[in-house]
């Protein structure tokens, strides 16, 4: 068995604006496992400033190679104890603790190698029928640029649009959201907003009151991570449904997952496998949320088409009904070849 690691700096076609700044590039590492005449590929995707496991490129690469050396000690078919729960053998589990993106990369490589059809989680016939509703994402940017992007999403057939907010003056963002709602009634267009923890506690209630007037579906992570009691209070106000994602980062024990969700009592959780414990952690979060009657959706963490296909196949297994936060990697100049296409607000397999 051979394991090789390669690096690719993904280059955005246009700068991607977030509340943490402007992204022009994003690092990804790729794993290739070869054994018994078969190859398995996986992607390790991180977002600097958001992925807690990442400090700098050199130390992170050392960790990837350290983990790869552990995997090399075992035949690939012996890596995993339980495929349904994504549980590796104990020595590997110990090495992967608190490194969700590395976990996801090796989960992908294992299942890609294991699947005789060359996919990750779906058989060929199931992959060809994949039909996942997704939201159109409008990145932060200058108001004219965001207005243009919103119009493009509507023209492309999206009926749910998610707008990143929190980096500009709120009054400017409010005007843009108002303009969108004036053009499209709630029955025609669902609006989600994602604050990435950008708002202060003193201002957020006023913002929620306005979002309610616009019939906004939900606001994602309105307050910074760690604001558990305050976020629970916002949910109790009943103005706009609250979703959280950054709040979930760094929790791997299922009891701790359940305890957090029981305290914060939001309507939705938003899951990024490469940040929220790989596919194993994502499955545990879904289980906890469903026990508490919470909704959820899965989104990507700026993966290339390789990671996006694996996330899409994983998501398709749940027969989701509400729009997810997935795509094809078309935001990159140097994206890898993709088997995915977006058509009228649905993610599908390319034919």
3-state secondary structure of 49: coil
Contact 169, 161 (CB under 8 A): no
- From 26, 153, 272, 280, the catalytic residue: 272
At 96, list the tokens: 């992967």
Q: Count CB-CB contacts under 10 A for residue 210.
A: 15
Counting every residue written for the chain, the total comes to 351
CA–CA gap between residue 266 and residue 229 (Å, rounded): 11
- From 26, 153, 164, 284, the catalytic residue: 164
Does residue 164 carry a catalytic annotation? yes
Residue 29: exposure state from Cβ atoms within 10 A (0-12, 13-18, ≥19) = buried
Cβ-Cβ contacts under 8 Å for 10 (sequence gap 6 or more): 25, 26, 27, 28, 302, 304, 332, 334, 335
CA–CA gap between residue 324 and residue 326 (Å, rounded): 6
Contact 86, 67 (CB under 8 A): no
Does residue 57 carry a catalytic annotation? no
CA–CA gap between residue 232 and residue 225 (Å, rounded): 13
226 phi-psi bin (left φ>0, alpha ψ -120 to 50, beta other): left
Query: What are the helix and strand counts (H, E) for the chain?
Result: 11, 15
Beta bridge partners of 156: none
CA–CA gap between residue 168 and residue 114 (Å, rounded): 46
- Active-site residues, by number, are 164, 272
């Amino acid at each position: 068995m051979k394991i090789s690691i390669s690096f690719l700096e993904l280059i955005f076609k246009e700068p991607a604006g977030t509340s943490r700044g402007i992204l022009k590039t994003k690092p990804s590492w790729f794993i290739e496992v070869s054994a018994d005449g078969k190859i398995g590929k996986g992607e390790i995707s991180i977002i600097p400033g958001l992925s807690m496991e990442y400090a700098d490129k050199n130390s992170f690469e050392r960790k990837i190679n350290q983990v790869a050396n552990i995997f090399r000690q075992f035949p690939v078919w012996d890596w995993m104890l339980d495929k349904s729960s994504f549980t590796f053998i104990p020595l590997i589990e110990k090495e992967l603790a608190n490194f969700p993106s590395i976990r996801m990369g090796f989960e992908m490589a294992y299942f890609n190698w294991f699947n005789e059809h060359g996919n990750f989680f779906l058989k060929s016939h199931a992959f060809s029928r994949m039909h996942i509703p997704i939201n159109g994402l409008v990145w932060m940017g200058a108001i004219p640029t965001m207005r243009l992007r919103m119009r493009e999403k509507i023209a492309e057939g999206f009926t749910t649009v998610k707008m990143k907010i929190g980096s500009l003056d709120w009054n400017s963002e409010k005007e843009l959201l108002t303009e969108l709602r004036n053009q499209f009634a709630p029955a025609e267009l669902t609006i989600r907003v994602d604050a990435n923890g950008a708002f202060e506690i003193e201002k957020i209630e006023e913002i929620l009151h306005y979002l309610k007037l616009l019939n906004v579906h939900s606001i994602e992570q309105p307050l910074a991570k760690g604001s558990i009691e305050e976020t629970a209070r916002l949910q109790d106000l009943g103005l706009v449904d609250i979703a959280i994602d950054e709040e979930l980062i760094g929790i791997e024990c299922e009891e701790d997952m359940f305890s957090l969700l029981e305290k914060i009592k939001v309507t939705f959780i938003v899951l990024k496998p490469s940040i929220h414990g790989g596919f194993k952690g994502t499955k545990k979060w879904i289980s906890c949320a469903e026990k508490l009657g919470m909704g959820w959706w899965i989104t990507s963490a700026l993966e290339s088409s390789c990671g996006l296909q694996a996330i899409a196949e994983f998501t398709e297994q749940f027969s989701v009904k509400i729009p997810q936060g997935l795509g094809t990697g078309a935001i990159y100049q140097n994206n890898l070849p993709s088997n995915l296409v977006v058509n009228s607000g649905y993610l599908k397999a390319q034919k």
